[in-house]
Amino acid sequence: MNLPLNFLIVNMNYIAILMWFFGAVYIGYVFITLYHLTRFGVGQSPKVFSVVFFVGSIFFLILLLVAYISIDFNIISDSINEIFKKFNMDLLSK
């Protein structure tokens, strides 16, 4: 089985669509949690916790987006190819 070296680059659109889908699910989860903590929480502490949760989740989402943008998929592909060559497994040959 031969996979092209640019396998990740060819499927970049599918990866972007998956990232948008999981991002939407994550934002939905954050919204539902935030809503239930503020709406049904008794007293001040659940509301403060929900604000901390919301700020942390936005920070985490921004951190993940910056990490995803800064990935160089060519380096990853070359590294995988070198690993397979080291073990004499030519799965990622051209």
Question: What residue type is 27 in one-letter code?
Answer: I
Task: Quote the Cα angle for 87-8-20, to 5°.
Answer: 135
Q: Predicted confidence band at 81 (pLDDT cuts at 50, 70, 90)? A: confident
Residue 92, pLDDT above cutoff 60 = no
Mean pLDDT, rounded, of the chain: 76
DSSP letters along 10-65, please?
A: HTHHHHHHHHHHHHHHHHHHHHHHHHHHHHH--SSHHHHHHHHHHHHHHHHHHHHH
